[in-house]
Amino acid sequence: MLTIDARGDACPIPVVKTLKALGALAGPGSVETLVDNEIAVQNLTRMGEGKGCTVTSERLGEKEWRVTVAASAALAVSDVEAESATCEVPTPGAPSAAAPAARKVVVAITSECMGTGDDVLGRKLMGSFVYSLTQLDELPATVLLYNGGAHLSCEGSAALEDLRGLAASGVEVLTCGTCLDHYGIADRLAVGEVTNMYVIAQRLTGASLVVRP
């Protein structure tokens, strides 16, 4: 078993370190990663399960967790990266209405407001924009929410129900975990999944079109 100490590492470093350790295994084996926040536990669990590995986690202290990812066969790092770059995670049981593979549209929302000038107007415009996404014939494949945009997927957001509608239609809704922690709103996330900068970078670089309202 390989042990990785990722305590104190910011997102997405724990995931990157664990991926590299999995790639270093010559055959079946396990990677044990120590982290200091629940967001990292969720990201590691999602990554491991997405690669077909068995994942277990254990809380060791107030701010310490151990996540064990067990692979049943050797897994090259390049294979992991290639699979991660193309793998989509639709809402279980929901019909897929996301954009076809030939055209992968990613919407990147970085603020509660659309445009600059008046924030009250900007929030109204952003709410209208998210609603308009639900009415498009071609839905985006992914909606990324980071920095101030992380507020939109939390309880109390005027855009919450429309984001839930997008998720129910198969659109991947991902919110930056570091951003949720920074604003102290991680416990208020109400739609989609928590993600990390590694995945955000993959979605942006793998998109055929990135829309930034």
Q: Give pLDDT tens digits for 5-30.
A: 999 988 788 888 998 888 888 788 89
How far apart are the C-alpha atoms of 7 and 4, rounded to whole Å?
9
What is the per-residue pLDDT for 22?
87
* Residue whose tokens read 């129900």: 161
Residue 90 backbone zone (phi > 0: left; psi -120 to 50: alpha; other: beta): beta
> Domain tally for the chain?
2
Low pLDDT (below 70) residues in the chain: 76-102
H/E element holding 134?
helix 119-135
Q: How far, in Å, CA of 164 to CA of 120, rounded?
A: 23
Same domain, 125 and 172: yes
* Domain membership of residue 189 as a residue range: 105-211
43 and 123: one domain?
no
Looking at the structure, tell me whether residues 191 and 161 fall in a common domain: yes
pLDDT of residue 96: 46
- SS3 state at 71: strand
- 106's CB contacts (< 8 A; 6+ apart) are 140, 141, 142, 143, 144, 203, 204, 207, 209, 210, 211
Instruction: For residues 116 and 205, state if they share a domain.
Output: yes
Q: Is residue 95 part of a domain?
A: no
- Check whether residue 196 and residue 114 sit in a common domain: yes
CATH number at residue 109: 3.40.1260.10
pTM of structure: 0.66
